[in-house]
Structure formats: C-alpha cells, structure tokens
Amino acid sequence: MSTNPPARIRLTGGTFAPWSPHQGGLERFGAWLQATLRARGALDGEGVSVGVRARFGGQLVRCADGCTRAWADAMSRHPLRDVWRVHQERRALRQAEFVIALSPKGADELARLYGREDAVVLVNPLLTALPPRAPQAASRLLCVGHGFERRGLDFVLAAMHDLPDLELDVLGRDREIARWRAAVEAMGLAGRVRFLGAVDAGAHLASAAALVHAARYEPWGNIVAEAAAMGVPAIVSDVTGAACMLHPDHRWALAEGPGGLAARVRAALERPRSALWLPPSESEYVDSLLALAARVQR
C-alpha cells in the first residue's frame, strides 16, 4: 500500500535572520517558522511555496498584514497611496491555492474586500517561552508595538487623564518618537509615561497591571495572546484580531473614545476576566500548516 510523501515547505520572500526586539512580528514569525521547519526536516527548496505575508505570494499565502485596503481605511490614507501594494496583494491572493487569515476578523476582510471566501483561519502560536507572572506593579500599564499611531497610543494617552493614579510604559519604536515625547509633555503626562524603546516585552508584561492595546488596525496581536496566556489583563480594541480570545468586557470599541477606554481599563483592573481560549502550541500550528501543504501536493 503506497502512502503520500510527507509535505515539504519552501518559504518565499527570502531567509529570516534571528529575531531581535528591534524587528516586528513578521520577522519574528518568519525566523521561528524557518527554524522549526528545518528542525522537523520539512524545509525544502522544492517544497510547497508558502508566503509568510501576502505580497510574497506562494501556493499558500499567509495574510500577516491583514488586508491593505482595510488597513488604509483604518489609517485614513488616501486610496492612491497604496494602489501598487493592493495590486500585489490581490494578485497573490487570486493565484494562491490556500489563503491563511490570522483571525476570524481577517477572514471576513478577505471575503469582503478581495472575494476570497475560502480563507483558512490559522492563528499564530505563542512564539516565546513566557516568564512567570511577577509581583505586579499595581499602578503601571503597558503598551507594546512598533508604529504608535496604528497601535492607538494617542487614545491611551488621552485616557490617562481619566486614570490619574496610573502610569504607562511604552515599548517599541516609532519614526516620530520626538513628536510623541512632545505630546506627552504638552499633555502634562511626562512624569507618568515612559518610552522604553525596542526591548523584549516579556519581563515588562509579566509585572504590568494590565496591557492596553488600542490599535486602529491589527490583524492579530501576538502581545495580546501572550498577555492572555500569562493571566495579565488585556484591554484591546475590537478591531484587533486577537480580541476574539478575550471576554467582551475587555474589548474596547473605538467609538467609545478615550473616556470609554479608561472605563474599560478601570473595570479590568477591578474585575479581570479570564481569556475565552488560547492560541495553538507551536507543534499544533506546524501540523496544521503541513496538512495544508499536503493538500496542495495531492
């Protein structure tokens, strides 16, 4: 009785160097997936092509950036600024045999904006060994992510006026960091807000009173999943893909404004809600990806 050969995968878009906190989630995922497939003997230059982001193309396309059209709308960008990127994305999605969304929200966007109603939802695994929950700084909130406007830092800073007993640590890099520092000064928050740069978030998350992720657009949100797994309260915008993991009390709608965000933070600190579910393990994720690749090979 013959059996099909085990699936092999070829990553498109180049090779990935070891990850550092100065890089983003795509580089982190790519470095992890490359190393994991190699360790399992499934990385093969002749294998099924997998694009770790849509514009890389491939037989399997992972929409790591979500939908460019949805992101551009959320960021109020002029449509002509992203014509070429949208074209690349649409072409890759049209040619792919399988399209992978990072969340149910992402799958809905692919169906609505690009007509791919067959997207497979495959959420990111936890890519790091999480430190144990540390004695928390009861008054310190945490924001994590590169590109502060997309992460909704302005909403969080405005909410801090209604949270006078709390402080905020901001992790990540931004091209306009000087403007953000000046805004903090102008808002009278200089003594309560610290910009710590691109550093590993693990220890800061472990000791934070809560994570606040008020993103305008977020296909998934690894830091949200890490907070949920560590038992750290996470208050997350409802346009964040990983918001589906959380209790509705911890989901904030942009229409609620900074005052509503502050109320959500206060409620989460007083009555934290456990996550509804957690992401797959690393091995479960790779098993699912290899199963999709096997379907392409048939």
Tokens 């690009």 — which residue? 114
Q: Are 237 and 218 in contact, with CB atoms under 8 Å apart?
A: yes
Question: What is the per-residue pLDDT across 32-67, written as a single tens digit (0 to 9) for each?
Answer: 999 999 999 999 999 999 999 998 999 999 999 999
| Cβ burial, residue 188 (10 Å; 0-12/13-18/19+) | exposed
Question: What is the per-residue pLDDT across 142-189, written as a single tens digit (0 to 9) for each?
Answer: 999 999 999 999 999 999 999 999 999 999 999 999 999 999 999 999
Distance CA 152, CA 212 (A): 9
DSSP assignment string, 76-140: T--GGGGHHHHHHHHHHHHH-SEEEESSHHHHHHHHHHH--TTPEE-PPPP-S-PPPPPPPEEEE
Q: 166 vs 73, 214, 269, CA distance in Å?
A: 32, 17, 11
Domain spans of the chain? 9-125+280-297, 137-270
The pLDDT of residue 137 is 66
Question: What is the per-residue pLDDT across 282-291, written as a single tens digit (0 to 9) for each?
Answer: 999 999 999 9
Amino acid at the residue 96: A
Q: 68 vs 90, 121, 147, 262, CA distance in Å?
A: 10, 18, 16, 30
Q: Is the pTM of this model over 0.95?
A: no
Q: Are 26 and 53 in contact, with CB atoms under 8 Å apart?
A: yes
Residues sharing a CB contact under 8 Å with residue 83, sequence separation 6 or more, in sequence order: none
Question: What is the per-residue pLDDT across 116-151, written as a single tens digit (0 to 9) for each?
Answer: 999 999 999 998 778 888 776 679 999 999 999 999
The pLDDT of residue 3 is 58
The pLDDT of residue 128 is 76
Specify the DSSP class assigned to residue 7. Answer: P
**256 phi, psi to nearest 5 deg:** -75, -20
User: Three-class SS string for 215-244?
Assistant: CCCECCCHHHHHHHHHCCCEEEECCEHHHH
Tokens 């049209």 — which residue? 94
Question: What is the per-residue pLDDT across 67-102, written as a single tens digit (0 to 9) for each?
Answer: 999 999 999 999 889 999 999 999 999 999 999 999
Distance CA 225, CA 130 (A): 11
The pLDDT of residue 136 is 67
Q: Which helix (H) or strand (E) holds 176?
A: none
CATH topology of domain 137-270: Rossmann fold (3.40.50)
